[in-house]
């Protein structure tokens, strides 16, 4: 069965979740494109979107519609080409409307797993829980054909374990999209010794069709992306606890978040990123990794306390950020959580956060925030100058930032050394494409 035939009947399990909905969007678009090829005119295309929450499925359709309109607006040059033989579609608006309709028309939503019985390719994107995933995969495989291929979006559970416990005989691969799947260009591909060739080929073709950059990762819990992110976050938590003596815990969290964004020139501070991913998701990555990787402490009591208090971050269905380590107003951090009293301490540039900023010191010359450098063709040179000045600076901020950078680099190097990543370049590629960093952790700046 070739790629296009397989894509005639696909399914996403956990489709109303953050990752599932993004994967559904990408698949619907590709299926609409296939459906519009002259040779496929009489073929039927089906994308089953299954989720256990019926109420979330309505929201999913609304999300897909909104995103398809946006995608259509962006791809209108291509759409006019795609619909060039449709005489009734004249204006951009006509083509975009048709595109949304074509994409939505392949979709069937539901809560009943058995709907996917004829699907030839199944994407699993349920909660990051091994037993749940295994039970689902086993159940689906009990009524699907034995030629059905499975792609799991797990971000940390070893594929070998999932494949073995679900008895899939190598018909399972790790295809780890980044959040949000429709935007992030990266996908980590995790195959195992058992993975059948057809599935590897399918996955590479899929990446090509969806315009994703593939980085292969070895089958070690957390893979490359979360392997780095988890340790980077744990480092920030541990540093915060040290700083808490002098600055209180909220102050320390504020400091680590601020320097990791500003002085590391990243798109978000580390705690904002954990909130974005979800404190619960981060905690589950931590637990899963700790379970499979021995000889390294990959848990943190502060993280656990946040999780137990149900201060979880994540996003609402409209995409707005929920409060977690930080409090948000219009998706911008405005305060930091105080574990002692369960309240948020609001930032106050004229008060306590202003005092901390003074202690962190002035930023070295050459500083420019991430968003200004992102598209700058001379960003390499500008980063060199900035990091040189950072090293020459003797402020508290610079000291913390340099230690942070050094640690981030060591994490990256360790991922190569322990065989998670094949090369330094793979590590850097994951951080560049999956986390939108403008330089890789393994660099010569530090």
Partner 1 sequence: MAKLRKKIYLTAGYNTISFGSGRKEFNPKKPRPGLEEYIQEAGRGVIAQINNPENIDEGIISNFMAARFNKQGNLAALIPTIHPSLEYKPHTRVEGACGSGGLALLTSLKSIASELSDVVLTIGVEVQNTVKAIYGADILAGAGHYLTERKNGHAYFFPAKFSDRAGVCYDKFGYDYMRKGMALWYKQAIENARKNPKAQEYHNSIEDLYAAGMTPPNPKAFVDHLNIYDCSKVSDGASALIFASEEGLKKIGVGKKDAIEVVGFGTAVADLTKAPEDMTVMSTTKRAVEKAYKMAGLGPKDIGILEVHDCFTVGGLLALEAAGFAKYGEGSAFVQAGKTNLKSELPTNPGGGLVGFGHYVGGTGVRQAVDCVHQLTGKAGDYQVKLNPNKPYALMISMGGNDKTVTAMIFKKAE
In the complex, the residues that contact partner 1 under the rule CB under 8 A are 73, 76-77, 79-80, 84, 87, 90-93, 96
Q: Compute the least distance from the CB of residue 223 to partner 1, in Å.
A: 32
| H or E segment to which residue 172 belongs | strand 172-177
Please say which residue, 84 or 138, places its beta carbon nearer to partner 1.
84
Sign of CA dihedral 36, 211, 147, 151: negative
CB of 277 to partner 1, least distance (A): 26
CA distance 144 to 149: 10
In the three-class reduction of DSSP (H, G, I as helix; E, B as strand; rest coil), residue 307 is classed as helix
b/e per residue 375-390 (b: at least 16 CB within 10 A): eeeebeebbeebbeeb
Nearer to partner 1 among residue 79 and residue 234 (C-beta): 79
Buried b (16+ CB within 10 A) or exposed e, 251-281: bbbbbbbbbbbbbbbbbbbbbbbbbbbbbbb
Q: Please, which residue, 76 or 214, has the CB nearer to partner 1?
A: 76
| Cβ proximity to partner 1, 93 vs 114, nearer residue | 93
Q: How far is the CB of 93 from partner 1 (least distance, A)?
A: 6
**CB of 220 vs partner 1, minimal distance in Å:** 38
Nearer to partner 1, 91 or 112 (CB): 91
In what side-by-side order are the strands of the sheet with 332-338?
A: 326-329, 332-338, 343-346
The residue count of the chain comes to 446
How far apart are alpha carbons 234 and 439 in whole angstroms? Answer: 21
Sequence-distant (≥ 6) Cβ neighbours of residue 444 within 8 angstroms: none
Q: How far is the CB of 208 from partner 1 (least distance, A)?
A: 16
**How near is the Cβ of 179 to partner 1 at its closest, in Å?**
24
Q: Which is nearer to partner 1, 93 or 423 (CB)?
A: 93
Query: Cβ of residue 330: shortest distance to partner 1, in angstroms?
Result: 11
Closest CB to partner 1 among residues 173, 182: 182
User: Using a CB cutoff of 8 Å and minimum separation of 24, what contacts does 421-428 make?
Assistant: 421/215, 421/217, 421/218, 421/224, 422/216, 422/218, 426/215, 426/216, 426/217, 426/224, 427/224, 427/228
**Closer residue to partner 1 in complex, CB, 89/224:** 89
Angle in degrees, 0-180, between the axes of helices 396-417 and 379-392, rounded to the nearest 10 = 120
Q: Which of 254, 315, 251 is nearest to 280 (CA)?
A: 315
60 burial type by CB count under 10 A (0-12 exposed, 13-18 middle, 19+ buried): buried
Exposed/middle/buried for residue 415 (C-beta within 10 Å: 0-12, 13-18, 19+): buried
Minimum distance of partner 1 from residue 94's CB (angstroms): 9
Compare residues 96 and 442 and give the one whose CB is closer to partner 1. Answer: 96
Q: How far is the CB of 80 from partner 1 (least distance, A)?
A: 5
């Amino acid at each position: 069965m070739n790629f296009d035939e397989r894509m005639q009947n696909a399914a996403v399990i956990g489709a109303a979740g953050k990752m599932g909905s993004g994967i559904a969007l990408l698949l619907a678009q590709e299926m609409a494109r296939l459906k519009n090829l002259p040779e496929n005119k009489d073929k039927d295309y089906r994308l089953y979107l299954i989720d256990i929450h019926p109420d979330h499925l309505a929201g999913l359709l609304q999300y897909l519609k909104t995103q398809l309109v946006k995608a259509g607006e962006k791809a209108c040059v291509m759409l006019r080409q795609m619909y060039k033989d449709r005489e009734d579609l004249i204006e951009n608006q006509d083509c975009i409307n048709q595109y949304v309709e074509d994409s939505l028309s392949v979709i069937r939503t539901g809560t009943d797993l058995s709907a996917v019985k004829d699907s030839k390719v199944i994407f699993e994107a349920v909660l990051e829980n091994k037993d749940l995933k295994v039970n689902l995969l086993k159940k689906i495989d009990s009524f699907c054909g034995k030629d059905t291929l499975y792609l799991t979006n797990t971000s940390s559970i070893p594929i070998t374990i999932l494949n073995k416990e679900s008895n899939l005989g190598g018909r399972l691969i790790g295809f780890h999209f980044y959040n949000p799947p429709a935007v992030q260009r990266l996908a980590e591909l995790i195959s195992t010794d058992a993975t059948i060739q057809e599935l590897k080929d399918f996955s590479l073709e899929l990446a090509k069709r969806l315009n994703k950059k593939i980085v292969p990762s070895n089958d070690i819990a957390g893979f490359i992306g979360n392997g780095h992110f988890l340790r980077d976050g744990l480092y920030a938590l541990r540093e915060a606890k040290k700083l808490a003596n002098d600055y209180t815990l909220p102050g320390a969290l504020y400091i680590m978040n601020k320097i990791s964004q500003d002085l590391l020139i990243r798109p978000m501070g580390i705690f904002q990123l954990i909130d974005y991913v979800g404190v619960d998701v981060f905690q589950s990555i931590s637990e899963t990794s700790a379970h499979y990787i021995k000889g390294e402490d990959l848990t943190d009591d502060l993280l656990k306390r946040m999780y137990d208090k149900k201060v979880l971050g994540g996003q609402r269905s409209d995409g707005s950020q929920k409060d977690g380590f930080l409090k948000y107003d219009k998706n911008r951090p405005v305060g930091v959580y105080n574990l002692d009293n369960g309240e948020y301490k609001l930032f106050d540039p004229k008060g306590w956060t202003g005092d901390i900023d003074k202690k962190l010191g002035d930023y070295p010359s050459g500083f420019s925030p991430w968003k200004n450098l992102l598209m700058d063709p001379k960003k390499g040179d500008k980063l060199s100058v900035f990091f040189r000045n950072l090293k020459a600076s003797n402020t508290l901020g610079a000291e913390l930032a340099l230690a942070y950078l050094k640690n981030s680099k060591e994490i990256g190097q360790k991922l190569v050394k322990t065989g998670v990543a094949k090369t330094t370049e793979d590590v850097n590629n994951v951080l560049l494409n999956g986390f939108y960093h403008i330089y890789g952790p393994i660099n010569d700046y530090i």
